[in-house]
Amino acid sequence: MRLYHLHSLEDTDHGHVFHRLVDGAHITAGELLFLPPGQVAHADEPRHVHASEEIFVLLQGRAVVHFDDGDELMGPGDVMVVEPDENHHLESDAQDPPVLLYVHCGGSRPPGQEV
């Protein structure tokens, strides 16, 4: 896991805003997520991992990300890169639930964006 803040990302005029943080020339998948208070994402899965890096951008609220070796708190503007095969579960703050963006990056554009 690597933690950054939006204001620390380098400006870019090409590619995507995370190009210096992760491999992959294109954002290939993602979603804006509104987690209800106290909800744990993927709570039904004992292990939740990905083959590639996953980026969380916390836009509002608070959350904690649980890893096998400890927890990491996130607040507005935090950018977290979860490493491949790193078990993680995101838990929404009960008083200040998060709105976050998660994305995955890869070598080719997603379907419908090919040029």
Residue 72's pLDDT is what?
97
Residue 11's pLDDT is what?
84
The dihedral region occupied by 15, where left means phi > 0, alpha psi between -120 and 50, and beta the remainder, is left
User: Token pair of 12, please?
Assistant: 């870019």
CATH number of the CATH domain containing 84: 2.60.120.10
Q: Which residue bears the tokens 């090919």? A: 114
pLDDT means over runs of 10, the chain (115 residues): 92 86 92 97 94 96 97 98 96 98 92 86
Is residue 113 situated within a structural domain?
no
Is residue 111 situated within a structural domain?
no
Helix, strand or coil, per DSSP, at residue 7: helix
Residue 14's pLDDT is what?
79
Residue 85's pLDDT is what?
96
Is residue 112 situated within a structural domain?
no
Residue 99's pLDDT is what?
98
Residue 110's pLDDT is what?
87
Is residue 25 situated within a structural domain?
yes
Is residue 17 situated within a structural domain?
yes
How many domains is the chain partitioned into structurally? Answer: 1
Is residue 19 situated within a structural domain?
yes
User: Do strands 54-60 and 26-34 pair parallel, antiparallel, or not at all (unpaired)?
Assistant: unpaired
Residue 111's pLDDT is what?
86
Residues 78 and 70: their CA atoms lie apart, in Å, by 18
Specify burial of residue 105 (Cβ count, 10 A radius: 0-12, 13-18, 19+): buried
Cα distances (Å, whole numbers) of residue 114 to 26, 108, 110: 11, 8, 7
Is residue 115 situated within a structural domain?
no
Q: State the residue range of the domain holding 26.
A: 2-105
